[in-house]
Amino acid sequence: MDAAEFRKRGKEMVDYVADYLEKIDKRQVFPDVEPGYLRPLIPDCAPQDPESFEDVFKDIEKIIMPGVTHWHSPYFFAYFPAASSFPALLADMLCGGIGCVGFSWAASPACTELETVMLDWLGKMINLPEEFLAGKDGQGGGVIQGSASEATLISLLAARTKTIRRVQSENPELTEAEIMGRLVAYASDQFCATLGTTPCCSFDRLLELGPICNKENIWMHIDAAYAGSAFICPEFRHLLNGVEFADSFNFNPHKWLLVNFDCSAMWVKKRSDLIGAFKLEPLYLQHHHQERFRSLKLWFVLRMYGVTGLQEHIRKHVRLSHQFEHLVLQDERFEICAEVVLGLVCFRLKGSNELNKALLKSINEAKKIHLVPCYLREKFVLRFAVCSRTVESTHVKFAWQHISQLATDLLQTWEHDDHQQ
Amino acid sequence: MDAAEFRKRGKEMVDYVADYLEKIDKRQVFPDVEPGYLRPLIPDCAPQDPESFEDVFKDIEKIIMPGVTHWHSPYFFAYFPAASSFPALLADMLCGGIGCVGFSWAASPACTELETVMLDWLGKMINLPEEFLAGKDGQGGGVIQGSASEATLISLLAARTKTIRRVQSENPELTEAEIMGRLVAYASDQFCATLGTTPCCSFDRLLELGPICNKENIWMHIDAAYAGSAFICPEFRHLLNGVEFADSFNFNPHKWLLVNFDCSAMWVKKRSDLIGAFKLEPLYLQHHHQERFRSLKLWFVLRMYGVTGLQEHIRKHVRLSHQFEHLVLQDERFEICAEVVLGLVCFRLKGSNELNKALLKSINEAKKIHLVPCYLREKFVLRFAVCSRTVESTHVKFAWQHISQLATDLLQTWEHDDHQQ
């Protein structure tokens, strides 16, 4: 394929993607296929000779789409949102075209520099303490990671290196191995200090944890993967109070800030802690630290939405989760299982775990909407996460009426079965 | 931005990317900017109100391009290739549009299943032993990772878990911590068993290492990040002999197989070793294992190039590296520093490290081509890596004439300076 054909096919693909997203509400949100559906549909091995774009293109609807869970459908309320927007898609096209690898300044200066400045923009949007920003000559700064767990791993390694050096300087008689044997990482069952946990979007108390960590020389990392995007709204910023005690902080614009995967934003107060932990071969750089030009996505999204546009997006999702919460509360058969702070509602039928498992099963088997569950203090709970960029009040109302009707049907059978036994 | 505007802007972006790649040879391969160039060119913080696409678009040439190292220029001979092709760019557009997260089968069945089948295709293309393939009911199989170091880390964790379990079953009196304290990882200064090292593309002797690892119950991981793509050509497949002893194997189609970053292919003989090492929360899945629909890129590239098209690409690069090697060998001032096996030539002026550093400096300051160095047994060496998809014999000849002329200029000054001192 040469540039001329790419121009033609690229434009066809733009239309395909626009069509897909424009009419995604017409597709069944969860697919009908069974495990193993795909292998029989395609050849056993790669073709020897080139196939045409048309051949490949027609297989998208024939082979791929029947097996896609439509994350951007307004009827998708599972997991947490996967961010997506048109400006981010455009930036990704540019990123692919440039195709640079940004593992050092020289490998692509624009890539390295835009990332630093964009993380300063983003840090200011959530009112991060100045210490976390790079500015012209600050000691802090942000970098883009692939995921929140990548950020956690990097924090852990940086903390380990820093602690070993400190202990070694205080106790020169100890070997590195001896110090390693004494290191302790404190974590809850959500791992590190977390703002907006996955099951129910609960918040650790930074103002209690922070001073202890600082006093005891413990590296504090805060994971706000989902919730962090909400801090761009002043009314939610208080949830981040205490971040001033942290050494590192992370949230995922690729979850809730309309920046397509992957873009996990991580800040540290001292960039030297990261650089010290990852000593790089100074002469040539191994290709192991490859990264694409991911900051382009942030640049496009932050500029084309503006802060107000992004705040509207967050506020719409929070408003819709409260709308759903109110609908649940009006139905005495149901209960809300955790405080609704942002875009997630945890709810269940008053009754056994088995009853709620049966309800979820009937919801996901009907495939009109899609939800996933969690356990909260051993109770099986349904999670209603406001996810899609295009979800509106009508979709939330539809979802609730549908759930409510399935509950009615289920309770009839359930009681009937109960009586029979 | 709505779907209608995306159609318009997306098509403009397709043309921009096509223009960029079609005329990339007209751009200076390495930028003129100094560190810190970008910050003064853009505002201090994100705009409150949305900006137009035009505003953002014009800044690409004004702000971004002056700071880009053009990895796909035919005058780029640095590091290793970063793969790029039009079919891969099309697949990435589709991947962004679908925007699914493939951390479990249910989260996106097509994503999970296509990945497994594509890794089988790719495994067959390099003639991997059947044990590494998933097939319909095999124990092995492949997964896509982000980088070779991610694959190495995962192998290490899987090996650790497997070894702990084995030792524990043999010595039930030992605690996990006691076993952990006894674990040993064997590595050279390139870490694990490597095919095609970064400095000079050398190859470890798998046929010697393999039987020892098997006998001693040591997990063997093979990293063929760059070289692996060449094994699709029968004449290079012998370099992979011994892979039958390995537990895991990895190479990066995003380096040399025309699949844009990121797409690092990893196979294991026993999938259960990976699954065992990464116990996942069974009820809902944390978002920590997010991955995009990366196998679409493989599918598009393997089909639209076909095996023969990809073999031609590899063979062209190897032919061009030998062309460069012959040019170097004809000039008595230079020496070749490592056997040229694939697309990399390590060479230097016969003389001091300082002389060669000065030569590299003059090459990279002239900015007509771009190279990076390495050290081989304490000798400072220039690496000439055939990188671009569109590089041809004329570019290689130009590069050599340019290097040769700069060497002539340098040697005159150098000898002159020498005489003065």
The three-state (H, E, C) secondary structure of B99-165, written as one string: CCCCCCCCCCHHHHHHHHHHHHHHHHHCCCCHHHCCCCCCCCEEEEECCHHHHHHHHHHHHHHHHHH
DSSP classification of residue A347: E
CA atoms of A291 and A259, how far apart (whole Å): 16
Q: What is the pLDDT at residue B256?
A: 98
Residue B252 has pLDDT above 90, yes or no: yes
Quote the minimal CA–CA distance from A105 to chain B in Å.
8
Residue B281 has pLDDT above 80, yes or no: no
The mean pLDDT value for A116-139 works out to 96
Chain mean position to CA A174: 41
* Range(s) of chain B covered by CATH 1.20.1340.10: 3-83
Name the 3-class secondary structure at A139.
Answer: coil
Contact list in B for residue A111 (CB cut-off 8 A) is 67-68
Q: What is the pLDDT confidence band of residue B286, given thresholds at 50, 70 and 90?
A: very low
In order of A181, A182, B302, the CA distances from A175 in angstroms are 10, 11, 52
Q: What is the pLDDT at residue A175?
A: 86
What's the ipTM?
A: 0.94
* Number of residues that this document lists for chain B: 421
Q: Is A139 exposed, middle or buried (0-12, 13-18, 19+ CB in 10 A)?
A: middle
CA atoms of A271 and A280, how far apart (whole Å): 14
The mean pLDDT value for A99-125 works out to 93
For the whole model, what pTM was predicted?
Answer: 0.95
The mean pLDDT value for B204-231 works out to 97
* Range(s) of chain A covered by CATH 3.40.640.10: 100-293
Q: What is the pLDDT at residue A287?
A: 41
Q: What is the pLDDT at residue A282?
A: 41
Which range among A390-394, B177-181, B235-239 shows the weakest confidence by mean pLDDT?
A: B177-181
CA atoms of A87 and A297, how far apart (whole Å): 7
Query: Which residue from B13, B47, B304 is facing A51, i.e. has the nearest CB?
Result: B304
Q: What is the pLDDT confidence band of residue B284, given thresholds at 50, 70 and 90?
A: very low
More confident residue, A208 or B137: A208
Question: Which helix or strand (DSSP H or E) is residue B225 part of?
Answer: none
Residue B333 has pLDDT above 70, yes or no: yes
Q: Do B6 and A18 touch (CB under 8 A)?
A: yes
More confident residue, B36 or A279: B36
* Range(s) of chain A covered by CATH 1.20.1340.10: 3-74
Bridge pairing between strands A221-223 and A193-194: parallel
Query: Which residue from A7, A53, A308 is facing B49, i.e. has the nearest CB?
Result: A308
Q: What is the pLDDT confidence band of residue B177, given thresholds at 50, 70 and 90?
A: confident
The mean pLDDT value for A112-136 works out to 96
Chain A residue closest in CA terms to B189 = A281
Query: Which residue from A92, A117, A306 is facing B47, i.e. has the nearest CB?
Result: A306
The mean pLDDT value for A177-184 works out to 86
Chain A residue closest in CA terms to B282 = A374
Residue B390 has pLDDT above 70, yes or no: yes
The answer to whether B383 and B373 are in contact (CB under 8 A) is yes
Terminal-to-terminal C-alpha distance of chain A: 67
Q: Considering only CA atoms, which of A98, A107, A143, A96 is closest in space to residue A286?
A: A107
Helix residue ranges, H only, B330-378: 353-366
Residue B182 has pLDDT above 90, yes or no: no
Query: Which residue from A17, A117, A290 is facing B94, i.e. has the nearest CB?
Result: A17
DSSP classification of residue B377: T
Average pLDDT, chain A: 93
Q: Do B38 and A110 touch (CB under 8 A)?
A: yes
Task: Identify the CATH homologous superfamily for domain A3-74.
Answer: dopa decarboxylase, N-terminal domain (1.20.1340.10)
Rg of chain B's alpha carbons, rounded to an integer? 24
Contact list in A for residue B66 (CB cut-off 8 A) is 110
| Assigned token pair, A397 | 């109302």
> Mutating which of A17, A122, A155, A371 best tests the B interface, going by the most B Cβ atoms within 10 A?
A17
More confident residue, A290 or A147: A147
Residue A109 has pLDDT above 90, yes or no: yes
Query: Is the domain defined by A100-293 classed in CATH 3.30.70.2190?
Result: no
Q: Do A47 and B17 touch (CB under 8 A)?
A: no
The mean pLDDT value for B139-166 works out to 91
Quote the minimal CA–CA distance from A111 to chain B in Å.
7
Query: Is the domain defined by A307-420 classed in CATH 3.40.309.10?
Result: no
Residue A281 has pLDDT above 70, yes or no: no
Query: How does A73-110 read in b/e, with b if 16+ C-beta sit within 10 Å?
Result: bbbbbbbbbbbbbbbbbbbbbbbbbbbbbbbbbbbbbb
CATH of domain B3-83: 1.20.1340.10
* Range(s) of chain A covered by CATH 3.90.1150.10: 307-420
Q: What's the CA angle centered on B395, arms B393 and B398, to 5 degrees?
A: 110
Q: Considering only CA atoms, which of A414, A284, A56, A400 is closest in space to residue B298?
A: A56
The answer to whether B172 and B165 are in contact (CB under 8 A) is no
Residue A220 has pLDDT above 60, yes or no: yes
